[in-house]
Structure 1
Amino acid sequence: MSIVSKQQKTAGPDEVAKHPDFQLPWIERLLANPQKEWTVQVPRPYLGGTVTNAMFERTLGTPDGIRAHLSFNRPSQEPDAINHLEECWLLSCGSDVDGRAGRAHGGFNTLVLDQISGSISHHSHPQPEPPATATLTVDFKAPVSTPCVVLLRAWITELSGRKVWVKAVMENGDGKVVCASNGLFVFPRQEKI
């Protein structure tokens, strides 16, 4: 769980849940679900290593970009979820994610769908290195008006060796899917010792 700023400050999930943008009835109902389990998204300062998530955690984690971020897992109701689990993110988005004034850029929508899909893929294997995106197809269904809070959900539909297939959606506060993705993520080959 994190709220990220340029100063790379972090807060616990209960503290982030009190963010003013998350004080909406639909979010309070969502967070009241006793089956959710908080997950921790820890910002890592950019050190030039192989895994930094600098784009998501540093570049976008600003007061006018991604203003607050909550992460949790819960049982999935999707019939094609092979492990019956989904990763969920609540993102409070400001105007710095806009393409057109008042509307989130399609590239931003794609980036966050890719990020959550890669995250659930990474959690599916006990490998230290995360998988790489092999393919990602995004369907844009409705504009995302900003500022806003969106819910992202991702679930695994297939596993085969180093390959993980993931579906993800971005929903608005009314539960309407505004964009959806199908992706294939591939883990690096393990070096033989």
Structure 2
Amino acid sequence: MKSHTDFDIPWCQKLLQSDISAMEVPARGVGTAGDSDISNSMFKQTLYTSDAIRAQVNFKRLTAEADAIVPWEQCFIISIGSGLDGKTGRAHGGFNAMILDQITGSVAAEVSGTGAPATATMTVDYKAAIETPGVILCRGWAVERQGRKTWVKARAEDGQGKVLATAKALFIDPRPLKI
């Protein structure tokens, strides 16, 4: 897996090099302004900067979560800067919720196969501050699928496995087009 210099810290290197089940996946909506796939302009135009999300690696790996309904989880390793601060040295709580929404949405899109489920509800529990600048790991896995509904859990963690925030979200697939 390719890496950014912000990820040259031991816990990132260990995670990226030792997990033989990990497989890099492209970031949803990351690319040039002309991409027609998913606009995701919040990330592309606002957050992917040298002061906000400085670098990101996305991958899938086998999950150890007992409530997972598929054998894998999606992971983001994210290097963040002080441009995300709500208070000096701490990421804004809205960023925590947004990045958890992003990873749960990525999981729901893959599980549903629709590519564009909508967030219906998400509960976020804040456990500890996300320090900036810094590097965090976000993990998400599907816990239930029923009809057009997918429930996903996620967490943001630091390099020592300390849980910083958790989320449980419900996504609804778009209605099939009537022909």
Counterpart in the other structure of 1:31: 16
What CA RMSD, in Å, does the superposition of the two structures yield over aligned residues? 1.6
User: Alignment identity in percent?
Assistant: 45
**1:92 counterpart letter in structure 2:** S
TM-score normalised by the chain length of structure 1 = 0.87
Counterpart in the other structure of 2:121: 135
Query: 5+ residue gaps in structure 1?
Result: 1-12
Q: Distance in 1 between matches of 2:160 and 2:35?
A: 40
Query: 5+ residue gaps in structure 2?
Result: none
Change (3 A) 1:103 1:189: same
Match of 1:88 among 75, 78, 94: 75
Q: Distance in 2 between matches of 1:78 and 1:127?
A: 24
Higher alpha-carbon deviation: 150-159 or 45-54 = 45-54
Q: 3-state DSSP class of the match of 1:115?
A: helix
Aligned length: 177
CA contact (8 A) 2:114 2:174 kept: no
TM-score normalised by the chain length of structure 2 = 0.94
Match of 2:162 among 163, 171, 176: 176
Q: Deviations over 1:123-156 (max 9, x none)?
A: 112225x011000000000011100000000000
Q: Distance in 1 between matches of 2:166 and 2:150?
A: 17
1:97 aligns with 2:93: no
Q: CA deviation at 1:48?
A: 10
